[in-house]
Amino acid sequence: MTPVVAQGTFDLLHPGHVHYLRDAAEMGEELHVIIARSENVTHKAPPVVPDQQRREMVAALKPVDEAHLGHPEDIFVPIERIDPDVIALGYDQHHDEERLQAALSERGIDCEIRRASPLDRDDPERLLSTGRIIDRILEERTD
């Protein structure tokens, strides 16, 4: 069995999320997804959707074998528990792969880090980010 971990906020699911998770699932035989807790999201606006609801939505997606909420204080706790062979990063996720690999090694976690492929962005109307979805809602639904 080749366990893979994917992780993210997954606020307002969109085709970019599905593409990332499909790619991640193809990197192994069992896909575990770690959903960031709201209080740990510091690199962008906090999620709109509550933690448990985001976990339930991700768990319902076909490529996902198991969805987990992240640890409130230590992002590596669920990774240690799952013990993946691969950590799949999203194509445009902000992670520094060298720093992540060093942190994993420091904790004795031996796994490969891979990036998902980019999603074809030919259609300018396609909403591929939570921020763009929120912007569109504000444009369409406010005076």
Task: List the binding residues for ATP.
Answer: 9-10, 14-17, 92
Q: Residue ranges for the binding site?
A: 9-10, 14-17, 92
Secondary structure string (H, E, C) spanning the chain = CCEEEEEECCCCCCHHHHHHHHHHHCCCCEEEEEECCHHHCCCCCCCCCCHHHHHHHHHCCCCCCEEEECCCCCCHHHHHHHCCCEEEECCCCCCCHHHHHHHHHHCCCCCEEEECCCCCCCCCCCCCCHHHHHHHHHHHHCC
